[in-house]
Amino acid sequence: MDVPWLLVAHGSVTALVVVSFLCGQWPIFEGTFVQRINHFLTFGAYHHFLRLVHAACGNGAKDLVLGVERYCCERPNPILQVFYVAIIGVTYFIIVQTSFQYIPGYYVSGFHRYLSIVAVAIGALLFVLTSFSDPGTVTAENVSQYISAYPYDGIIFEEKECSTCKITRPARAKHCRICDKCVARFDHHCGWMNNCVGEKNTRYFVAFLVWHFLLCLYGAVILGFILAGELKEKKVIYILTVYYGIDNSFSGLFPHVAQWLLAVHNTQILLSVFLAIIALLLGGFCAYHTHLCLTNTTTNETFKWQDYIMWKKKVNEEKAAANGGVRKSPPSKWKAFFSKSHTQSDEKVVKNNIYDKGMIRNLCEVIVPLSERQPFSRRKSE
């Protein structure tokens, strides 16, 4: 009887950690325990670990940890790439060893043995394409073409020289301090790919996210059907209700069914829960990057617009106060989060994204980057 409560507690803690990690910095959670958990996960835990290492082993050990951090976070390295390959390889190996014996089953046909191989192979191919393709490096030879392709908006992008590359930095480009190069339509540097995500490989990166979200969801669903098939073939519910007199209801059967599954198919349950959690995380990233593609925005530009809007709001508030206006007290964070109304100063702050050309054209620009089109090549030859 304690098994269901253990599962509920485990699921609740997992959900709390995931929500705190992904959403803890939202304004709605400001000052709450969710924000404190987020701070601990993203900063506090590592800070306390450094203090523990310093107290236990001295400055030498602390400098060693900081050196490992610099190698992992400030230089190109294949650590996360190897970690990804290990996760995919080990997970699929465990699934083959423990779950393929139930395929074909009551609800799962033998076709899924071969479909799973193809699905994992496509995911690996997208990983290779994203990791080893050129993200769109800006050089002295193509900088003029990129400047023509991406005009400056005069708000978050203005003409200036890259202090490292010593060339004019095109709009939407950024110098990656890890890769040490300017990348056109820079989105972010992805440690999992050991590569920047930019103009030329955003399509591979988004396809990688979408495919792995579907892959994890597919794995969790198939494992669920395997468990359901085992319940059907072993007639577990029939035995519980007829021979043991268990009430034929969800509340009556669930504790006993869960106990049987954990005793007989605990590996499949752990794998399905693991894949479902990864699918949930990837689903959020997929939705975010799909929104960026459809609005022709990058992660880097999102942060720039946030900084600009915050700065503009402060300027507007200062102007209103200087003109004798009364500064209204801000609404509660819950009301501000759910309300769609804006104050007078908020309405003056407009995000004018000149690169947004409509969803269809924006998506086409991701699928076929501007640098791979004929007009770009003609400008280069001229």
**Per residue of the chain (382 residues), what is the pLDDT tens digit?**
445 566 667 667 777 777 777 677 666 677 788 888 888 887 788 888 888 888 888 888 888 888 887 777 677 889 889 999 999 999 999 999 999 999 999 899 999 999 999 999 999 999 999 999 999 999 999 999 999 999 999 999 999 999 999 999 999 999 999 999 999 999 999 989 999 999 999 999 999 999 999 999 999 999 999 999 999 998 988 888 888 888 888 788 888 888 888 888 889 998 998 999 899 889 988 999 999 999 999 999 999 998 888 888 888 888 877 776 555 555 555 555 555 444 444 456 678 899 999 999 999 999 999 998 877 766 555 5
CA atoms of 358 and 119, how far apart (whole Å): 32
CA atoms of 363 and 357, how far apart (whole Å): 10
Q: What is the pLDDT of residue 238?
A: 83
Q: Which amino acid belongs to residue 251?
A: S
Render 250-290 in DSSP notation, one character per residue: HHHHHHHHHHHHHHH-HHHHHHHHHHHHHHHHHHHHHHHHH
CA atoms of 362 and 210, how far apart (whole Å): 18
The angle at the Cα of 215, spanning 211 to 220, to the nearest 5 degrees, equals 150
- 23 tagged catalytic: no
The angle at the Cα of 294, spanning 292 to 299, to the nearest 5 degrees, equals 10
- The whole model's pTM is what? 0.81
CA distances in angstroms from 350 to 26, 154, 313, listed in the order given:
21, 14, 10
Q: Which amino acid belongs to residue 359?
A: M
Q: What is the pLDDT of residue 111?
A: 93
Q: What is the pLDDT of residue 344?
A: 45
User: Quick count: other Cβ atoms within 10 Å of Cβ 130?
Assistant: 24
Contact 371/136 with Cβ under 8 angstroms? yes
* HEC readout, 131-156: HHCCCCECCCCCHHHHHHHCCCCCCC
Strands (E), the chain: 160-161, 168-169, 174-176, 181-183, 188-190, 195-197
CA atoms of 260 and 43, how far apart (whole Å): 41
Q: What is the pLDDT of residue 284?
A: 87
**Which residues are paired to 345 by β-bridges?**
none
Exactly one of 190, 286, 293, 364 is catalytic; which is it?
190
CA atoms of 366 and 298, how far apart (whole Å): 11
Q: What is the pLDDT of residue 335?
A: 57
